[in-house]
Amino acid sequence: MTEIQEVFDLYDSMERKNIMLSFKGDMSTDLLTSILQLIENKLDRFGESPKIKRRMFNILVECLQNLYHHIDAPPRTLDGKQRASVIVMIAKNLNGYSIITGNYVLNDNAEALKKRLEEINGMTAEEVKQLYKSVLADGKMSDKGGGGLGMIDIARKSGGKLDYGFIPFDDGSTFFSLNVKVKQD
């Protein structure tokens, strides 16, 4: 059982990191819609510029839909329970916002993802823009509909390098975490 102290520590840690929203569990379409609505309302209340509101909304849609589409349940778990749930945290910083996500991916997919992220981070803003256009134009469509554009779009809209990490979980799966910074101009 979780002790009261643990609850407070969790709360306190989130408070100090200016977490506006934190969620751990299954990502569903309804939840996705609710998170978008909630963050949109908060940004309105903060009086943010249309530009940062648009950027946040666009990037958040892609991050959440990545979690919705690309979640892989680890083939084996420590206690036999499903560990397919994801984590989402949205924090306000001094110069903008951070959208942090975490989810399990199969090792094979993790390798491909890592390669793509390294490729994107090695590019200039103009090169990322050209990559987006060429992936869009080649017409290939994945069964999820996106065709691998999501990560490129996130990089393009955030305008900075993507901050990410992989933590090996077991023989089959890896925990992937992404931290996207959305800066105020």
From the list 8-16, 103-111, 116-124, 136-144, the region that binds another protein by CB under 8 A is 136-144
Which residue from 130, 119, 84 is spatially nearest to 103, judged by alpha carbons?
84
Q: φ, ψ for residue 146 (rounded to 5)?
A: -85, -30
Among 19, 21, 65, 85, binds another protein (CB under 8 A): 65
Number of residues forming the site for another protein (CB under 8 A): 32
Smallest distance from another protein to CB 29, Å: 5
Smallest distance from another protein to CB 185, Å: 11
Could you write out the three-class secondary structure of 69-126? HHCCCCCCCCCCCCCCCEEEEEEEECCEEEEEEEEEEEHHHHHHHHHHHHHHHCCCHH
Any long-range contacts for 122-126 (C-beta under 8 Å, 24+ apart)? 123/155, 125/156, 125/159
**Binding to another protein in span 69-88, by CB under 8 A:** 69
Residue 115, interface with another protein (CB under 8 A)?
A: no
Residues at the site binding another protein, with contacts judged by CB under 8 A: 29, 32-33, 36-37, 50-51, 54-55, 57-58, 61-62, 65, 68-69, 129, 132-133, 136-137, 139, 141, 144-147, 149-150, 152-153, 157
